[in-house]
Each structure stands twice: as structure tokens, then as C-alpha cells.
Chain A
Amino acid sequence: MNALSRVFAREARLAWAGGGGAAGPAAFFLACISIVPLAVGPQAERLLAMGPGIAAIAALLAVVQTAERLFADDASDGTLELYVLMPVSPALLALAKVLGQAAATLAPLPVIAVIGGIMFGLDFAQSALVGLALLCALPALALIAGFAGALAAGVKRGGLLIALIAIPMMVPALIFSSGAGRAALEGEWDRAWATLLLTLAVSLGTMALMPFGIAAAMRARTG
């Protein structure tokens, strides 16, 4: 097992062992998409139009609410210092850590998004595309949350800082992932697939760049 798979596996295991795994984000996501109809009213057409956007917003908020714990515990218990002193690329280590946590905690969200889409009146194919778009967006959302979490680790009122940093950076992933669902809803499947690929491109770009930012933030927190 190489160093990165060790970090990935450990972070996933710790997320389940100590943090309740996927239960928190899944419950938050489910609660968000469930209470929207209560707030905006039961009109079927309105809910149908809002479905893809609500799923994307709920996912964004679910990811942001996990960000504070992502690095705060490591900063307070000394793990962050140890990580920085390991003979492993800090950026790759950050990537493995964040994706390990995301795999353990965020994996159910696309599945719930499919169910949510059906709840909002989308047919199965449209709902599946909403779930797939969310799956494509999750790496970007998780890494941006990781970056904000690393910057805010050990900072008082870190949650506010995370929201201010992360949410604006998540806007492209939000726009493309909800856009893919909207295009499917309008029957424009070519545009839906193209937008889905753009969502994936945002995630791949984020995976290429953001680990360096997270690594720099980790180092800044240990100095």
C-alpha cells in the first residue's frame, strides 16, 4: 500500500469511526431537499423547475457544513504537524486526505439526489442525470471545502470564514451541475451532457490545483 492510499484509507476509516460517517451530510442534504416544498408551496410545476437547483444548493451546504471538522481536529491534536513533516508530497497528501473524507461522508448524496429529483417530479432519467451531475461536482466541492477548512483550522469563528471563502469558490460547480439537470428537464440532452462534462472539468481542474492551496494552508497553520 503506498503512502497516498494509506492516507485515503485512514481518513475514510476515521470519518466513519469518529464522525458518524455519511450520516451527518446525508441527513442535512435530505432535510434541505425535504423542507423546500414546505417553504415554496406544493405547485408541481414550480417544484419541477426548482428540483435540479435545490439539489445542487443542498449539496453545497452539506459539504460546507463538514468543512470545519476536516482540519480543525488535526490542528488541535498535533496531526497536522506530523502530516507536514512526512516524506510525502504535501499536495498529494492533502488530496488523499480530502478525497478519503469525501468518499466516506459524501458518497450517499448523489443517490439521495436521484430520489430527491423524483420527489420533485422529474422522471427517472432526469433524476439520474441530476445525481450524476452532483457526483461530478462533489470532488470540486470537497476540495474547496478542504481548502477553506485548512485555512480556518484553529481559528475562532472558523465556520464563518469557511462560508466566506468556500461558497463563492463553489459557484462554478453549482452552476454547471444544476445547469446539467435543468437542460435535461428541458429535454435538451446534448446540452445536458455537455454541461455535465463541464462540471467534470471543473472538478478535475480543482483536483489539479486545490491540493497545493490546501498544502500551503496546512503549512501556514503549523508555523
Chain B
Amino acid sequence: MSASQRTIALAVAGAATLLLVGSFFIPERDAAPAGEDAPTSAANAHGSRACAACHADVQAEWAGSPHALAFTDPEVRRLSNDFANQDCLDCHAPLPVFETGIGQRVLPRETDRELGVDCIACHGLPAAAGGGVAAKRDGAAPCAPRMRAELSAPEHCGACHDQHGTVGQWRASRFGAEGKTCIDCHMPVDPATGKRSHAMPGGGALALVQSAIALEARRDADHWTVVVANVGAGHNFPTDERSRAGDVFWRPLATEAGAPVAAWRHVHRMRAPYRHETGLTDTTLPAGERREFAIPFEPGVDAIEVALFYKRTPYWLDPAAPDPDAEARLVHRVEVRKP
């Protein structure tokens, strides 16, 4: 092989390598596709699996998040009848938010559904724009992300989460007025790394729920008073319709060792009804609001305990005799006694 042939061969090989490597990161088309088969998004063409090569730490955080489990979580599979109810797909395996547009709702995707709300769902750009977005521009990175302020805007999250009015609730709260947004609570900055968490804690994170809702009980002149207050959530508590509920219970306190424990008695439920539940009203607790409930004194009861439970599936196995200890998660428990 002559030198010139070697040069050509090297040039072709180099160009081919560049093409193959480059095509991994570069959108296949520059404009809105026209004609047969065009991919709707460059990000779709490559999926989220490639992101871990450079972002293993973020990937690891995300892997345990509700977003990662959006399609595979057993409870989700059960409630959606293994996604035979296709209506659930829109938000549980969405196309990139930027593809359908900020302020628009998402549409379902076909590929990598098992990844749920994956990297490209939030970071992917449509083919016309190309590549992805991040909190800051990084032209040196293989994916060369652009900086787009909308990435951290509540409207970005709202593509799915405002389906239940969460962004609207936030906007009406003091959090909205103060400019404290979704990511301040749900993507807190890790002081060690300075990066925002992709674990995205929500209703499944007990500490976060405990910081959102407060429970107090006191003895008044002729009754016990229970107070529940939304002190930390920038939206209603709970904010999801249908599948979330907060319940306040009380029972006489077993003050002597070995005394039988009384059954919980229901005080109040915080929940938005689903469509078929005729006659129910929305009792979710808006941000910053509090509610008080009076529990009459009963003979022989000198002390009570009050508890707030959080349920991610709203129905009790036996509605006539709910068992919150077994079916819900204890958020707060307080005791109060007669002097």
C-alpha cells in the first residue's frame, strides 16, 4: 500500500470513526423531520443508558428514585394492571418534556419503557434543537449539553405533576411568591458535591413528609384538641389525587404496662377524590393551612395518643376497621394527658 493509499485509508477510517462516535451524540436531523421514519428526537435515538458512562454518580442516585421506578414498581404495575391501562404510560414512560414542550403535557414513548422517567425525559432535547440540556453549558462534554433555565422551572415538572394540580397549588402558596421551587425540596443540593440530588425524594421519603406536615394535640377545658398543619410542603398535603391520603387517628393511651391497646379511631382524612367517587370533597390541606379537631372527653380516659399516617394507596382493607399500623406509614405521633 502506497503512502497516498495509506493516507486515504486512514482518512476514511478516521472519518468513519468520527461518524460512528459522533452520531452517538449528534442529532440525526437538524430540522423537524419530514418523511418516512424520521426519529422524533436525537435523545430518543440513543436512550438514557449511555448517560451512565460519564454520570455514574447521578445514575446511581436516580436508580433508587421514584422516577426510576415509575414503570417497574410493583405497586404501579398492580394499579395499572401491568399497564394494560395504557392511560398511565404518558407519565410513567414519557417522551422528553422538551420534545412536547415546556408547559405542555408529555406523551408516551416506545423505547426503554422500563427506565421510567429516565435521563432523557428531563434532559433530552428534540431533534430540531439537538443534544440535551443541563444546569450549565458544557461544550467539552461528549453530550455537549446546553443550558436551559426551563430545566429547573416548575413548569418542567408540571408536564406530569400538574396533572394533579401540584404546580397550581405551589403557585398559590407562599413558596411560589418567595420563588422557592420544586427542586429546592425535591432536588436538594448535596453540600459535599455541590450538585443537586437526583434521588428526588417525595412522598416515599419519611423525613421529607415529616418536615411537611405537623401534628399537635392539647387538652382544653372540655375536650382534646388535635391540630394538623401543612408547615413545609409548597403544595397541598397530600398533593396527588386518588392514590395518596393522610389520616389522623386517636385512641386512649395505654398508661399501664400490659394494658390492652385500644383500636385507632379516625379523626380526619386528607385526600382528593378520584373521578368515580361521587359525593366526596377534596380535603387535601393547602400549603400553610391548619385544621383543628375536637375530641370529646370520655369517662376513664385520662390520656390519649394521636397519630398522623400517610398512605400511598388510599383504600383500607377493611374500611369499617382500618388498621393504619399495618396499612399506612406513621408520620407523627403525640401523647397528651390530663394533669
- A in complex with B: no
